[in-house]
A and B are shown apart, each in its own frame.
Chain A
Amino acid sequence: MAHSGFIPKDNLNSVIEALSKKARLFVPVEEGDLVLFKPFAAGQTMCFSRPANLPPKAVIFPQSDVLFDFNLKKDMENLKKVEVELKENLDFPSTIIVGCRPCDAQGFRIYDRVYLEAGATDPYYKGRREKTTIITLTCNAPSPGCFCTSVGRGPADEDGSDLLMTELPKGYYLEAVTDKGEAVLKELGLADGSAYREEAEKAQESAAKAVRKPFASLEKTPEKLIGLFDDQQFWEAEAAKCISCGACTYLCPTCYCFNITDEQAGSRGERIRSWDACMFAHFTLEASGHNPRPSKAQRLKNRVGHKFSYYPTRYKGVTACCGCGRCIRYCPVSVDISEIVAHVQGAQG
């Protein structure tokens, strides 16, 4: 895909406004000291100078998603018989995300394998994913805690994005990654950007060099983690300061676990799917009352193991962590997953 475009700095806002006329548009908006993805609206202060505090994962994988409405109807002829009326919510609007980072976009690729490619397709995820176009801004410098290059990605990685945007001194160089991205380029009727290609590549390379590398090659890490599975002492030391909240998982572009509950009042109700987290004690609580992961050390082991062992073992070596660093930056006690992986790699045995 070679189609490229260029947006002069002063034109960015008008281009974004033009996009907002074509579909439901999410942009990174400043709210106090936070940057959050919000539906585009006039008068907002957009922020492209640092990654958003929360990735835009909720656009495709909502925190709380009504799968269907139900109504339990009694048969008036036979009161023991109850009929269930269902109304599915499978109508998804065309959506565009502008200004997420390559790590955020890759998060959706982690989800794709699970929700689209593993055999059982999730219609809710599929519907939103197909209707969403992702316009990603490459990073020109790492943020505190970032380590994308260590997990096989980079600040200009295109996997998961439809269109890549690179900020240059005079404007934004755009390059289509998919047909969806190319369609957006054409619709916007942007000037050809090929003259800026080399400059953009140089900027991307220098950003990639600036990202810290907290640990070595991940090749042997999945086996190493399995080897440490029963080393309770190791995990207790790693988890000592963890307070077992779910902030890391909810801020993570690659965490996709959920809970399903029926929220019912009288005969009517909704079945909702909501984010859940392996860091909560209830996550693995079984109906019998038994909990296979009763301690925070076991829960943190699961989080690291899932991202760096179980997922890559199942999906051809792909690590289920994009190195965005949010779990490190915003952890209440600065638990550092990259440090834990380094300890795993350095552990004896």
Chain B
Amino acid sequence: MTLSKLKELVQQVLPEVDVLIGYKQGFDPVHATPAFVTKPEQINDLIWNPLCVHNLCSYLPFMKDKKVGVIVKGCDSRTIVQYMQEKLIDRTKVRVIGIPCRGVISVNKVLHAVNHQPIESINFEGGNLVVKTPEGPKTIPMDEVMPAKCSICQYPTPLNYDHLVGEAIQSDKPKEKVFEDIKEFEKLSLEERRKYWEKEFDRCIRCYACRNACPMCVCQDQCLAESRDSHWTSQRDDLTEKYMFHMIHSLHLAGRCIECGECERVCPMEIPVAKIKKKIGMELKELFDYVPGINPEDTPPMYTFKAEEATIQEHKL
């Protein structure tokens, strides 16, 4: 139902834009891939199901010369709002088709669940996935293979859109659980946390997929990770350099990260990099009572450069 409604809307929007970005089936049954639709006959290739994991908004700042239609889930829509705040897109040139979303799947979790066997087919039945591999079919509850962001999703319906596919839905996930994993992690000692991150970052190959997939990493070609003039970071592949890159990346996102989780999803070394961004997001929430990507009229707290923040009462003494 959603797919046919979506296709109808795309048909309606396509004549108004140069290109529409949606999803189509990728190279194997478990991978969807972004689809750039320019002709009506390509609409038939579009899909909509829990494989549609990518945050398609990430392409928008680099397509300013075009009129673009884009399909967004609830979480992705915060990117649009954040772009509006930071004036990274011209909203009048973007047509947003929003889809209320009940959660996507983590391809890595699915592969883990089927012991990394090649996937021959995948079907969504009720709240389950049925995944067929050479070892036979396996039924997996959706909840078990969702990325962490879906299990705490507060915004299943897009916050900003021009067209909505179907009815808006409300979050059924408790608000107080949003930062539960970070609070749990912080119960570890400093030494344990340091060891954890050293083990994780040791695998980093500095491919910069996390940076390039991040919708808010818009410096890209000017990134200090590779700048040669000045030579801010060494090209060595040791832990210090890897650590340094990820800390800089995270700090540049303070108060701007809209928690789409793309950085973590795309990491070929499966490093839980979103956890650092989420920790910073939690600090920002506590310090400034601010959540990025919610209200287009907001100014991100780190943009204000005020010596005294309005929400920090103590400083007024």
Contact = CB atoms under 8 A, between A and B. Distances in A.
Do A and B truly interact?
Answer: yes
Interface of A: 31-34, 36, 49-50, 53-54, 62-64, 141-145, 237, 240-241, 243-247, 249-251, 259, 261, 263, 272, 274, 277, 280-282, 285, 328, 330, 332-336, 339
A141 B28 CA distance: 15
Interface string B209-228: 10111000000110000111
Interface residues of B, number: 46
Interface stretch (B80-88, B144-152, B266-274): B266-274
Interface in B125-173: 134
Contacts of B209: 243, 245-247, 332
Contacts of A241: 33-36, 59
Nearest to B241: A64
B295 interface: no
A241 to B, nearest CB: 4
Given A64-B236, A244-B212, A53 B268 contact: yes
A61 to B, nearest CB: 12
B251 interface: no
B15 interface: no
Interface of B: 19, 26-28, 31-36, 54, 58-59, 108, 111-112, 116, 118-119, 134, 203, 205-209, 211-213, 220-221, 226-228, 231, 234-238, 262, 265-266, 268-270
A240 B119 CA distance: 26
Contacts of B207: 245-247, 249-251, 277
Main secondary structure on B side of the interface with A:
loop
A145 B54 CA distance: 19
Nearest to A50: B116
Most B-side CB within 10 Å, residue of A62, A63, A144, A335: A144
A285 B142 CA distance: 46
Contacts of A282: 221, 226-228
Main secondary structure on A side of the interface with B:
loop
A261 B208 contact: no
Contact of A339 (B27, B36, B231, B238): B27
B134 A141 contact: yes
Most B-side CB within 10 Å, residue of A143, A251, A280, A328: A280
Nearest to B109: A33
Contacts of A333: 33-34, 54, 213
Given A241-B36, A247-B268, A261-B234, A328 B27 contact: yes
B36 A33 contact: no
Given A32-B270, A243-B58, A334-B26, 19 more contacts: A53-B268, A63-B205, A64-B237, A240-B34, A240-B36, A243-B209, A245-B212, A245-B213, A245-B266, A247-B207, A250-B268, A261-B231, A272-B236, A274-B237, A332-B209, A332-B266, A334-B32, A335-B33, A336-B33
